[in-house]
Amino acid sequence: MEVLTTPWVDKTIAVVAIAPNVFELYHRYTDVNLGFVRAVAGIQTIILVITMVFRRTPVRVTPNPWYWLLAFVATYGIIVFVAFAPRGTPIVPAILPNALVLISVALMIYARVSLGRSIGYVPADRGIVTSGPYRFVRHPIYSGLFVTLFAFVLRFYSPLNLLLFVVIVSLFMLKSVIEEWFLRDNPEYAAYMKQVRYRWIPGVA
């Protein structure tokens, strides 16, 4: 599967992969009901799009089709969830989920900027990043994502939304483990795993 490490092939895959994100971003900022929180949340998507387009060509990429399928379902499942999930009922004052979203978006922006051009959807070695929030947890973008989704459920609770939250979080937890299985063949990442023990929450998990 050396073709996956060819620069133009990797660039083409990246552009195709972010097309749904660009569409969602366009829909978000042309929505007449765009609020402050949704506007701020879109900033991290803008960073995602830019870094994906200019991402570093990988040294190696997993050829496992199941890993690609997991990445596809988890990544685009979020867009579908946020866009089409039933609106449900707020179970806490709006200020709490709004504050959680702002905190989580700030974390994701910090993590995406720190990750820079080493970004990708499927397991690939694009260089190891150990700075910024990666000094504390190995998957800070996922940590921020979990908080965002949790805030969404608090704001729009329904049994279905809660179930979808659990499913998406579980998929990304599995994705984290699979990414580490792939990357630990790199001695630098194996050493990083020993240095930073936690995946998502410092001192907890």
> What letter represents residue 110's amino acid?
Y
Residue 116: its pLDDT value, please? 94
Residue 1: its pLDDT value, please? 66
- Asked whether residue 29 carries a pLDDT value surpassing 80, the answer given is yes
Residue 84: its pLDDT value, please? 76
User: What are the percentages of helix, strand and coil residues in the chain, rounded to 5?
Assistant: 70, 5, 25
What does the buried/exposed string (b/e) look like for 100-135 if buried means 16 or more CB atoms within 10 Å of the residue's CB? bbbebbebbbbbbebbbbbbbbbbbbbeebeeebbe
Answer yes or no: are the C-beta atoms of 186 and 125 closer than 8 Å. Answer: yes
Q: Which residues pair with 61 in a beta bridge?
A: 124
Residue 126 structure tokens: 């694009």
Phi, psi of 58 (to 5 degrees): -75, 155
Residue with token string 């989920």:
97
pTM to 2 decimal places:
0.93
3-class SS of residue 84: helix
Low-confidence winner among 51-65, 71-85, 162-176 (lowest mean pLDDT): 71-85
pLDDT band, very low/low/confident/very high, at 91 (cuts 50, 70, 90):
very high
| pLDDT tens-digit series, residues 173-185 | 999 999 999 999 9
**In terms of pLDDT, which residue wins out, 199 or 44?**
199
Domains in the chain with CATH codes:
2-195 (1.20.120.1630)
Whole-angstrom distance, CA of residue 135 vs CA of residue 187: 17
Half-sphere exposure of 138 (CA within 13 A, CB side): 25
